[in-house]
Amino acid sequence: MLALVLSSVPHLSDDFRAYQLGTYLLYGVAAQGVALAWGRAGFLPLGQALFFGLGAYSAGMVLIASQANATLLALLPLAVLLPAALAYAIARLVFARQYVSGPNFSLITLALAMLAAQLANQWSGLTGGFNGLANIPEIGGLDRYSTVYYLIVALVVASTALLGWLYRTPLGALWLAVAQNENRLQFFGFATDRLKALAFALAGALAASAGALYATQQGLVTPQAIGFELSTELVIWTAVGGRFGPYGALLGAVGIGLLSAELRDVWIHWQVAMALIFILVVLRFPAGMAGALQTYGRRLWPRSWMAGAESLSSQSAAAPNYLPAPPRNRAADTSTLEPIRLEFNRVNVRIQGVSILSGLQLHLRGAGIHCIIGPNGAGKTSSFNALTGRLPLSDGDIHFSGRRVSGLRADTIARMGIARKFQIPSVFSALSVRDNLCIALWGNRANALQLLQASTWRWRSTLWEFLIASFPFLETESDRHAGELSQGQRQMLELAMTLLMEPRLLLLDEPCAGLSVAETGQQTDVIKRAVTLIGCTALVIEHDMAAVARLSDQVHVLHQGRLLASGSLADIQGNPDVQAVYSGGQK
């Protein structure tokens, strides 16, 4: 439909209107890349013109060179592939060093764009310098003022279709999850830096292909196509147009861009109007113009295509022919025949002079549920953090079934079969309950190809059925956003998600916190049965002694970063050291 609308423009209006629209459509495609990275995957690229400009300059150089030697045209795809590869490399390098996004990525991309603009200006032998790379011929002899427009329309339709499809695949959901709670996603075994790098590479490819067509449409590429100003405009257009879907960016670039071009010569205060529009959009329409259109469209025509799907996975819920999920990827595991062994060997963690773990020595073997108790500040959660790569060790190491885990990344550890549930229930709040469960199921199971297939939404496992039976709300409220659940329900959801991973070692951090007595009973029940079903070892941190009593085969007491005592609950309760610690007799 988009193709129809856009293709008709030259006929309804005239050729140079189409020419002008064409340029802004190209900017729009680049902005779609920004929307993908920012609105979907949650990180803001402030230097996207870098890839646009790289695509433009490369394509320009190839086209100019091809005038002498036509076979060089085969190099044209490189104008898109090389910037995309660069984008991937940049994102991987930057995101590998941190586990959540911060402003530093944005500033790195900005600095790179500024650097590129400076080099484009300076290496005038290659790029034509300030005056730009001129006399770029038309591609394949197509007239730039008329026929190239259709090429642009083709690109726009292709990119919009591609993004629209991608957003509905499991990968699209994963990107949303990265944006909402990247930390948590890693604990399901997803290498979030690779996911983000993929998004950025695609964004780079979009920008570069737009740039390549820009080069032939304009016949001239100047450093302004690669620098800070265009990068900023792309972000502004995306923000105003709407960053949560592929149409928003197009709307922003064409709407605001064209509007500016028209107003600029007519009204002297057009920039003030623009500024007021930005402020208004931000305060009133956080989803941008596209979001506003969708909201009003939904109100006026509730059944139309504008309403959109409620949640990503609901499309699959409508047709319940479920597929059995493939077994968990055991490649990273040690042999399943061996009982698992977890060893903390003289683990020391010191931060800024404060000793968090001092010589923690804990050896666990075999299946069963072990409870870890201790007063506040004893180092219980810290031991989990140290185990799952969130707390660097100052001394000692941690081994899991013979393999050293201290110092590994969280997602690597998760893929080894260690699953963790957090103290404060940590789920993907803006995704539906069912989406959350799906993501947990895909962890360490879905390969890259399966993440692109719609059928992956229909995976279910026996454990899934068991969990639905144990926590009925998972089915009845499956379309609700996880953030709208009550605290108790969120605890149960997160437990379910952690269990779905079918890990070999289950780490539960206060799974019954904030639950009523009845809910606690339900929760502990599920934990016991699930542990038997999966055949794993569980480490449970708990304060509620009733829960401990119900769950534990073994209890370990931590105090001041050390293991104080181990044994059955009765042994522990009888231990005088433990009693002293709990009643305050010992410091």
Partner 1 sequence: MKRRSLIQKSLAIGSMASTGLLSHRQLFAAGPVKVGVMIPMSGPAGLFGPSAKNCAELAVAEINARGGLAGSPIEMIVSDAGVPPAEASQAALKLWKGQKVQAFIGMHDSAVRGALVGVFKGQVPYIYTSTYEGGECSAGTQVLAETPAQQLEPVIPWISKERKLKKWYLIGNDYNWPRDTNAMAKKYIAAAGGSIVGEEYLPFTTDNFDASLAKIKATGAEAVLITLVGGASVGFNRAFASFGLSDTVTRLGTLIEENTLAGIGAQNAANLYSSSGYFAAIDTPAAIDFAKRYTARFGAQAPPLNALAQSVYDGFLLLEAMANKARSMDPQKLEAAAKGVSFSSPRGQTTMQDRHGKKDIYLARADGSGFKVVQVFKQVGAGKNC
Partner 2 sequence: MDASAVTLALNLIYHIAVLALVGLGLGIVFGLLGVMNMAHGEFIALGAYAMLAVQNHGLAPGYGVALAVLGTAALGYPVERWLVRPLRSRPLDTLLATWGLSLLLRKSIEAVFGRQYQNVSNNLSGTSTLLGAEYPDYRLLLIVVIFVGFALLALWYRRSPAGARLQASVANRPLAQAIGIDVDRQACVAFVCGVASAGLAGALLAPLVRVEPLMGMDYLLDSFFVLVVGGLGSLSGLAAGSGIIGGTQVVVSTISDQTGGYVAVLLLSIGFLWLRPNGLLARR
Q: Which residues of this chain interact with partner 2, rule CB under 8 A?
A: 38, 44, 93-94, 97-98, 102-105, 107-108, 111-112, 114-115, 118, 122, 228, 232, 236, 239-240, 269, 271-272, 274-279, 281-283, 286
H or E element in which residue 413 lies? helix 410-415
Report 240-299 residues binding partner 1 (CB under 8 A): 261, 264-265, 268, 271
476 binds partner 1 (CB under 8 A): no
Quick one: what does residue 135 bind among partner 2, partner 1, none, with the CB cut-off 5 to 8 Å set by partner type? partner 1
Q: Smallest distance, Å, CB 84 to partner 2?
A: 20
Q: Does 137 bind partner 1 (CB under 8 A)?
A: no
Does the footprint of partner 1 cover residue 146 (CB under 8 A)? no
Evaluate the CA torsion angle 430, 436, 440, 443 in order and state its sign.
negative
Q: Are 176 and 430 in contact (CB under 8 A)?
A: yes
Nearer to partner 1, 145 or 322 (CB): 145
The least distance separating partner 1 from the CB of residue 118, rounded to whole angstroms, comes to 6
- Binding part of the chain for partner 1, among 214-222, 300-308, 335-343, 419-427 by CB under 8 A, reads 214-222
- Measured from the CB atom, the residue of 48 and 537 that comes closer to partner 1 is 48
Q: Is 131 in the site for partner 1 (CB under 8 A)?
A: yes
Calculate the alpha carbon distances from 407 to 96, 366, 387, 400, 412 in Å.
14, 24, 9, 12, 10
Print the SS3 string covering 217-261.
HHCCECHHHCCHHHHHHHHHHHHHHCCCCHHHHHHHHHHHHHHHH
Pairing verdict, β 403-404 and 395-400 = antiparallel
CB under 5 to 8 A by kind: which of partner 2, partner 1, none does 264 bind? Answer: partner 1
Q: Which is nearer to partner 1, 14 or 395 (CB)?
A: 14
Paired tokens of 15: 């050729």
**Measuring CA to CA, which residue among 213, 21, 77, 53 is closest to residue 136?**
213
Near partner 1 by CB under 8 A, which window of 58-66, 126-134, 506-514, 520-528? 126-134
Considering the complex, state which of residue 145 and residue 150 has its C-beta at the smaller distance from partner 1.
145
Least distance in angstroms from the C-beta of 248 to partner 1: 22
Q: Pairing relation of β-strands 554-559 and 368-373?
A: parallel
Instruction: State the minimum distance, in angstroms, from the CB of residue 217 to partner 1.
Output: 9
The three-state (H, E, C) secondary structure of 156-169, written as one string: HHHHHHHHHHHHHC
Site string for partner 1, 165-204 (x = CB under 8 A): ----------------------------------------
> Hey, what are 169's tokens?
């695949």
Closest separation in Å from C-beta 409 to partner 2: 15
Stretch that binds partner 1, among 122-130, 153-161, 407-415, 507-515 (CB under 8 A): 122-130
Q: What is the DSSP string of 438-465?
A: HHHHHTTT--TTGGG-GGGGGEE-HHHH
For 122, the enclosing helix (H) or strand (E) is helix 103-122
Q: 215 with 63: CB under 8 angstroms? A: yes
Q: C-beta of 264: minimal distance to partner 2 in Å? A: 14
Q: At its nearest, how many Å lie between partner 1 and the CB of residue 22? A: 9
- Chain residues 4-63 in contact with partner 1, contact rule CB under 8 A: 14-16, 19-20, 23
**In the bound complex, what is the minimum distance in angstroms from residue 264's beta carbon to partner 1?**
5
Pick out residues in 147-166 that bind partner 1 (CB under 8 A): none
Residues whose CB is less than 8 angstroms from the CB of residue 1 and which lie 6 or more positions away in sequence, other chains included: none
CB atoms within 10 A of CB 295: 13
Closest by Cα among 577, 507, 580, 519 to 544? 519
135 in contact with partner 1 (CB under 8 A) = yes
* Residue 223: CB minimum distance to partner 2, A: 14
Complete DSSP assignment for 320-383 = ---EEPPPP--TTS--SSSPPEEEEEEEEEEETTEEEEEEEEEEEESSEEEEEE-STTSSHHHH
Q: Which parts of this chain interact with partner 1 (CB under 8 A)? A: 14-16, 19-20, 23, 114, 118, 121-122, 124, 129-132, 134-135, 145, 214, 218-220, 222, 224-225, 229-230, 261, 264-265, 268, 271
